[in-house]
């Protein structure tokens, strides 16, 4: 059979395999303790699995409604209103998605075109920029500082131009583990007054905050909610990342445009899982108890590292912890992370790839959404570095 040479024009010429895949494969190859990728290594609530099984047996195995099962949208609406005081109409302002990443990609695809600028707070989760670029948009970066990962709002405002179409925020923030304060949200609100700029508020870790800190959802603020898609994740909340189940909430006029793209992208999410989640959400403690659950794991992990040479500021939210290894070595974070796997059988995520221009501050990220046994084994190894 003759071989043909394809002249391929890549819309993402600079995108490489994600660091999550790279480190995950390296961890598997070396049988390492995998604290790199952001997924739990423990099972979800058996009662949730039972609810999905029941839904399948009851015949919910064909397409769900395009926007999502109405009972689930009603429960999402009720949850947001109870927690943040904002009512989203289940019919026109909430859509169930195949994970939060699909929601984010669909929002960007629906609203961003050639030459549109999107402000991205760095370090940033790696799905934002490719979605912007593949749609012809231009990412504009605001780099957080390396001491407390706070936004310089004067710098942020200086990035706004007539071409700015969208801003993406993420709180609680991956990878830094910091959270936006009320003052941050008010600064954002003031910064965007008298503009038509849309916000994506990535709030997938909304139920994982520590030390008494509350989550400041964009839905709490009138001047933000009116321009914002709030994106949530059942995968992160209920330890079911492999089920790929999320949602977004936003004003009806924005959601109308979102669904135009959503219906031709995936159309609908898993029917049986939606039915199960609609029932499971009726017990608020299933998500309200998450803060304490993960704080205990964070504290166990930090206690295990307390006599190590890592410099640490405790995570305020998410199930990630950054550590500064500069007292151990001056290697680049990618080299050090790889050596941790090959020599010490511990997998982490280097942070430079999430920063503007690959800034390397000698930080790596560990995921502590693991069993206590796993965390104890990991810290025993890390203390010896």
Domain residue ranges in the chain: 19-44+286-383, 58-283
pLDDT digits (tens, 9 = 90+) for 248-299: 999 999 999 999 999 999 999 999 999 999 999 999 999 999 999 999 999 9
The confidence band for 32, taking pLDDT boundaries of 50, 70 and 90, is very high
pLDDT value for 17: 78
Give residue 258's Cα distance to chain centre.
19
Closest CA to 175 of 44, 300, 35: 35
What's the 3-state SS for 225-282? HCCEEEEEEHHHHCCCHHHCCEEEECCHHHHHHHHHHHHHHCCCCCHHHHHHHHHHCC
Q: Would the pTM count as exceeding 0.75?
A: yes
Q: Give the whole-angstrom CA distance, residue 245 versus residue 48.
A: 13
The confidence band for 6, taking pLDDT boundaries of 50, 70 and 90, is confident
| 35 token code pair | 């604290």
Q: Which fold has domain 58-283?
A: 3.40.640
Q: Give the whole-angstrom CA distance, residue 202 versus residue 15.
A: 22
DSSP string, 118-145: EEEEES--TTHHHHHHHTT-EEEEEEPP
Q: Give the whole-angstrom CA distance, residue 218 versus residue 220.
A: 5
Is the bond leading into 123 cis (omega within 30 degrees of zero)? yes
DSSP string, 319-377: SEEEEE-TTT--S-HHHHHHHHHHHH-EE-EESGGGSGGG---SEEEEE--S-HHHHHH
pLDDT value for 27: 87
pLDDT value for 2: 60
Mean pLDDT, the chain, whole residue set: 96
Class of domain 19-44+286-383: alpha beta
CA atoms lying within 13 Å on the CB side of residue 204:
31
| 132 token code pair | 């912007």
| Angle of the 333-344 helix axis to the 19-29 helix axis, nearest 10 | 20
The answer, yes or no, to whether residue 3 has pLDDT greater than 70, is no
Is the bond leading into 175 cis (omega within 30 degrees of zero)? yes
Q: Give the whole-angstrom CA distance, residue 50 versus residue 32.
A: 32
Q: Give the whole-angstrom CA distance, residue 234 versus residue 76.
A: 11
| Angle of the 372-382 helix axis to the 290-305 helix axis, nearest 10 | 20
pLDDT digits (tens, 9 = 90+) for 66-121: 999 999 999 999 999 999 999 999 999 999 999 999 999 999 999 999 999 999 99
Strand residue runs (E) in 31-101: 33-34, 94-97
Judged by DSSP in three states, 83 sits in: helix
Name the pairing type of β-strands 246-249 and 94-97.
Answer: antiparallel
Name the pairing type of β-strands 198-202 and 228-233.
Answer: parallel
Mean pLDDT lowest among 9-23, 72-86, 319-333: 9-23
């Amino acid at each position: 059979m003759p071989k043909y040479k394809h002249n391929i024009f890549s819309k993402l010429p600079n995108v490489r395999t994600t660091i999550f895949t790279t480190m995950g494969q390296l961890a598997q190859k070396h049988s390492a303790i995998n604290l790199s990728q952001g997924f739990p290594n423990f099972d979800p609530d058996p009662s949730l699995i039972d609810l999905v099984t029941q839904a399948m047996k009851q015949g919910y195995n064909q397409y769900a409604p395009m926007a999502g099962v109405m009972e689930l949208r009603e429960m999402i609406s009720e949850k947001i209103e109870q927690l943040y005081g904002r009512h989203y109409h289940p019919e026109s302002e909430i859509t169930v998605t195949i994970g939060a990443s699909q929601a984010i990609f669909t929002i960007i695809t629906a609203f961003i075109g050639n030459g549109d600028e999107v402000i991205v707070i760095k370090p940033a989760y790696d799905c934002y920029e490719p979605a912007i670029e593949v749609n012809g948009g231009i990412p504009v970066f605001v780099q957080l500082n390396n001491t407390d990962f706070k936004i310089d709002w004067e710098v942020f405002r200086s990035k706004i131009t007539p071409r700015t179409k969208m801003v993406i925020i993420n709180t609680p923030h991956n990878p830094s583990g910091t959270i936006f304060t009320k003052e941050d949200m008010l600064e954002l609100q003031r910064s965007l007054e008298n503009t038509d700029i849309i916000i994506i508020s990535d709030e997938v870790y909304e139920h994982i905050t520590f030390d008494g800190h509350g989550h400041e959802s964009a839905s709490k603020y009138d001047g933000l909610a009116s321009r914002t898609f709030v994106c949530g994740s059942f995968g992160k909340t209920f330890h079911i990342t492999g089920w790929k189940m999320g949602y977004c909430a936003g004003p009806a006029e924005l959601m109308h445009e979102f669904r135009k793209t959503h219906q031709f992208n995936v159309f609908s999410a898993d029917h049986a899982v939606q039915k199960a989640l609609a029932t499971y959400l009726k017990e608020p403690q299933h998500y309200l108890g998450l803060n304490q659950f993960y704080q205990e794991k964070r504290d166990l992990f930090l206690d295990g590292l307390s006599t190590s040479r890592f410099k640490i500021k405790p995570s305020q939210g998410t199930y990630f912890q950054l550590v500064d290894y500069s007292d151990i070595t001056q290697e680049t974070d990618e080299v050090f992370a790889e050596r941790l796997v090959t020599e010490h059988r511990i997998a982490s995520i280097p942070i430079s790839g999430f920063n503007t221009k690959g800034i390397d501050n000698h930080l790596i990220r560990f995921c502590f959404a693991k069993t206590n046994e796993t965390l104890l084994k990991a810290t025993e190894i890390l203390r010896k570095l």
